[in-house]
Structure 1
Amino acid sequence: MLTIITVSIFISVSLLTAAILYPFLARGSIVKERLEKLSTQKSETTTYSLIKEKTPFQLFLARMGSRISHSSKEQSKYTKLLLAAGFRKESLYIFLGSKILLAAVLPAVFIFVYAIPKGALVQMQSMLYVVMFAIIGYLIPSYFIHRKAVSRKLLMFQTLPDILDLLTVCVEAGLSIDAAMIRASESPQFRGNPLAGEVKVAAMETRAGKPRSEALKDMAERTSLEDIKAFIMMLVQTEKFGTSLSQALRIHSDTLRTKRRQYAEEAAAKTAIKMLLPLVFFVFPALLVVILGPALFKIRLLFQQ
């Protein structure tokens, strides 16, 4: 009983200390992160390229990717994935070259590090490992690009209502939709945001002479987000039928904000279910060991006597 009380007091004191210190430790990191964002003077572009500077290694990857033939359907799929992740079309061959390189490097590392020193190069198990590492290496770039595309879409989904609010204010102040899009994309609060970059690209394409509807549809194609497609369709129809743009923007912004709140509520409701497995397999066994362990040990000593 004394052991249980001691352990309980220790856990309680540890949790209380962590609860007291956490706000101070977390606040420092949050403040530092916000200061770094505010101190960034150069606006980051959200349209990345895998070849910002053509180094020899990157040129090697591009040549390797261009020499491997892929079907037009597969290239179109990879191009859409890269665009959704924020990369441009010139990054396609770099991406394909990285897949081929990793598919060759990982099996080679396994062969020279394990198979040859162990003398197991011709064994069936080693052959299976070589094939497995080749498949893993080929899929790794696709996995990371897919994860980047998902996180980018989520960030744009969360930012869209705020940009629409700023567009509404600019339009009501007398700016045209193109000037409002540029003004909203250059706002300090959206610095480095992928959606702001896409909006600015669409506005600059319109200024360069491209029809606004085509520029907006290209933006929808690049983002691959249904909410942005609905927003662009609303802009096109508003311009076509001559309805109030500011009112349409305000209504659409309220709708998206409601959808964002519902998405957050849905994610919060799923938290309890996601916590079930960690609680069952990690937390509860540890609690049982801490609570029942000393008692079982004493019972064992009693039976031995």
Structure 2
Amino acid sequence: MLEFFANNDVARLAFLALVFALAMGIAAFGISRVNQRAVVRSELKELSGSGAMAQRERLTEQKDSAWSKVADRIEKSGLNLADTQGDKLRNKLIAAGFPSPAAPRIFTLVRFVSVIALPAIYFLIASLSNTKQTTPQIMLWGLLLGVVGLYFPNLLVTARADRRREEIINGFPDCLDLLLVCVEAGLGLEAALDRVGREMVGSHPLVAQLLSQATLQMRAGAAREDALRQMGQSSGVDEIKSFATLLIQSDRLGTSVAQTLRVYSSEMREKRRMRAEEKAHRLPVLISIPLVVCMLPTMIGVLMLPAVVRTIRVLIPAFGGGG
């Protein structure tokens, strides 16, 4: 295989182009991850500044991206990109940070392209290669790459949703403490959510974005109950859903919001402490795996090596001479 790439100019150029595209994709992904916090911070600052109304109108408008336009053209050609589990997929994409209505169709399009592109690339490399491969081998590798293209986008979305959920859970107790301070200082719930959302832009931007969206919905005329439920649904975190339900019940029954926030904040901090203790208790088990795999064979070899050398030098010649 290496000789083929060294001697064939076309294969070498194709391989270099593939490596270049992969490197550019990794670099673009890294840059987008680095700039994500800055983008959220700048948007929230614009919301709190003088151009709030213009920015809110810009955020509420749904502009079709390039992917959504491609998905629309494909659907117009006759291929349906609707998923059989549309609601479940949409909730999963919202939990991963893709609230656009076109996100399920774009996700289905990406999976469809991956299923076709990965086996096609392999078949192209196999056809240009000088190594002989049987038809069953080519079909098997094509099938495996097709399965990878089918499930790999799902794994990426799941991993992104887990990271986003963990960041929200870790930052939500601080949000509750600030809400408690604002409510006890005399602010209403809507004003407290707005104030905390603007204050937490730098420390916890995802939580700040959830609070700002709920505040904008309430200011746009939505009922407080609907805005809080939408906040819990868009977060994808059970703790925030429970928090939204608790605020709704507190508002209906007329109980103290400050007391509700104080109790729930204490429970959230206790849960966060228990999660940290759980991770700390898992460390000995995780450390034992590299210890057994890497260090234990080396220690056994060091301890047994002198005896083995002595056996080879003394006992084996003695047995041979005695024979």
- Shorter-chain TM-score bucket reads 0.7 to 0.9
Quote the residue 2:41 is aligned against: 43
Partner of 1:107: 119
- Following TM superposition, by how much is the alpha carbon of 1:52 offset from its aligned partner in structure 2, in angstroms? 8.7
The 5 Å alignment of 1:178-257 reads 178-188=190-200, 190-191=202-203, 193-257=205-269
The one-letter code sitting in structure 1 at the alignment partner of 2:227 is A
Paired residues of 1:45 and 1:197 also in contact (CA < 8 A): no
Residue in structure 2 matched with residue 146 of structure 1 by the alignment: 158
TM-score (norm 1): 0.76
**2:261 is equivalent to residue 263 of structure 1:** no
1:167 is matched with: 179
The one-letter amino acid paired with 2:41 is S
- AA at the equivalent of 1:234: L
Instruction: State which of 78, 97, 100 in structure 2 corresponds to 1:86.
Output: 97
Aligned amino acid, residue 43 of structure 1: R
Gaps of 5+ in 1: 1-35
After superposition, the Cα gap between the structure-2 partners of 1:266 and 1:63, relative to the gap in structure 1 and judged at 3 Å, is: farther
C-alpha contact (below 8 Å) 2:118/2:145 kept by paired residues: yes
1:77 to partner: Cα distance: 2.0
Quote the Cα distance in structure 1 between the aligned partners of 2:316 and 2:75: 72
Distance apart, 1:204 and its partner CA: 0.7
> Quick one: structure 1 residues 69 and 233, their matched pair in 2 at CA, closer, same or farther if it must change by over 3 Å?
same
Q: Does 1:126 align with 2:138?
A: yes
**Cα separation, 1, equivalents of 2:94 and 2:114:** 22
Equivalent residue, structure 2, for 1:77:
88
Q: Please give the alpha-carbon distance, in whole angstroms, between the structure 1 residues aligned to 2:189 and 2:288.
A: 49
Number of residue pairs matched by the alignment: 265
SS of the residue 2:94 aligns to: helix
Between the aligned partners of 1:141 and 1:205, the Cα distance in structure 2 is: 31
Is this contact kept in 1: 2:218–2:224, CA < 8 A? yes
The alpha-carbon deviation at position 297 of structure 1 amounts to 4.5
Offset, 1:278? 2.3
Partner Cα separation in structure 2 for residue 296 and residue 246 of structure 1: 74
Contact 1:202 1:216 in 2 (8 A): yes
1:89-112, CA deviations, whole angstroms, 9 ceiling, x for partnerless residues?
322222221111111111011111
Distance 1:135 1:174, change over 3 A: same
Q: Distance in 2 between matches of 1:205 and 1:85?
A: 21
Residue 59 of structure 1 and its aligned partner are, at CA, apart by 4.0
Instruction: State how far apart, in whole Å, the 2-side matches of 1:137 and 1:45 are.
Output: 34
Deviation of the 1:190 alpha carbon:
4.6
Larger Rg: 2
Instruction: Please give the alpha-carbon distance, in whole angstroms, between the structure 2 residues aligned to 1:53 and 1:192.
Output: 28
Q: Which amino acid aligns with 2:94?
A: L
- Return the alpha-carbon distance in structure 1 between the equivalents of residues 154 and 43 of structure 2: 23
Does the 8 Å CA contact 1:43/1:192 hold for their aligned counterparts? no
**What do the CA deviations read for 1:26-83 (whole angstroms, capped 9, x no partner)?**
xxxxxxxxxx99x95970669x9xx99845x774366447864356542222211110
Distance 1:82 1:302 in 2: 70
Give the root-mean-square deviation of aligned CA atoms. 3.2
Aligned residues with identical type, % of pairs: 27
Tell which has more relative contact order, 1 or 2 (C-alpha 8 A, sep 6+). Answer: 1
Distance 1:182 1:86 in 2: 21
SS of the residue 2:106 aligns to:
helix
> Cα gap change, 1:206/1:149 in structure 2, threshold over 3 Å: closer, same or farther?
same
CA displacement, residues 140-171 of structure 1 (integer Å, 9 cap, x when unaligned): 11100100101111111111111000000011
Check conservation: 1:65, 1:96, Cα contact below 8 A.
no
Show the counterpart of 2:297.
285
- 1:208-238 deviation line (CA, Å, top 9, x unaligned): 0000101111121112221111111110011
Other structure's SS at 2:142 match: helix
Larger mean CA deviation between 220-229 and 251-260 belongs to 220-229
